[in-house]
Structure 1
Amino acid sequence: MSKRVLIVDDAIFMRMKLKDILEKNGYEVVGEAQNGMEAVEKYQAEKPDIVTMDITMPEMDGVAALKAIKQIDPNAKVIMCSAMGQQTMVMEAIQSGALDFIVKPFDTDRVIQSLNKIFN
């Protein structure tokens, strides 16, 4: 089973850090998006196995993008990424179908543990 990931975050530094963690651990990053609108478009184009989705982004936030992706593909696997203090949005994301969430700044072991849990 391939492990193709779409990374969604408005901060280029966070995308680079996550991409580095994933690629060093055998994941293939098939695309990056900097807002929710782009995330939905890239999801449709790339059909990744999993999406890492930032919550707070311009144009369309991560929760709205999650809901849009779930409408396109009810089986979409999405992990939310958030800074501390966004519990309300994290809960809404989980209720909307997110499978897990990772807190920023990223801890390599936690990121890989989260993705491996979903793939196994």
Structure 2
Amino acid sequence: MALKDVKILVVDDEIFFRKVLRDLLEKIGFTVVGEAADGGEAVEKFKALRPHIVIMDIYMPDKNGIDATRDMVAHDKNARVLVASASTFDSDTQAALDAGAKAILMKPFVPKEVYETIRKLLTGK
């Protein structure tokens, strides 16, 4: 699959982080098909847009990233959700993995790590 064919949904309540991540992903060559500012909006866009990858913040108002991940996986057991976090040893990060997230992306985002994590998710390698 060509990079431009990989559809990604970016979910974060802070517009700054959505813009930074969108710019980084598009610079790498991926296609950002949508953005959401909270978990409820993310689940709706996930169902409508059918992205290959969702990059999800954990801490958001209304529905958080853990609950949204759980809902996405319940809707599609093959959902590929990456959790964006500033901490690797966080109980909420573990809760997101337990809810069905496939990997963790560390903030601040490092382009090579973002690319490698997405590549591994898509190829299974």
TM bucket, shorter chain: over 0.9
User: Tell me, which stretches of 5 or more residues in structure 1 are unaligned?
Assistant: none
Q: Which position in structure 2 is the counterpart of 1:35?
A: 38
Shift, 1:110, TM fit? 1.2
Shift, 1:84, TM fit? 2.3
Q: Which position in structure 2 is the counterpart of 1:114?
A: 117
Cα RMSD (Å) of the superposition? 1.2
User: Tell me, which stretches of 5 or more residues in structure 2 are unaligned?
Assistant: none
Distance 1:86 1:46 in 2: 32
Partner SS for 2:100: coil
Within the candidate set 81, 86, 91, 1:88 is matched to 91
After superposition, the C-alpha distances for 1:48-76 in whole angstroms (9 at most, x for unaligned) are 00100000000000000000111111110
After superposition, the C-alpha distances for 1:55-108 in whole angstroms (9 at most, x for unaligned) are 000000000000011111111000000122761011111122111001111111
Q: Which position in structure 1 is the counterpart of 2:9?
A: 6
Aligned pair count? 120
Q: Which amino acid aligns with 2:34?
A: G
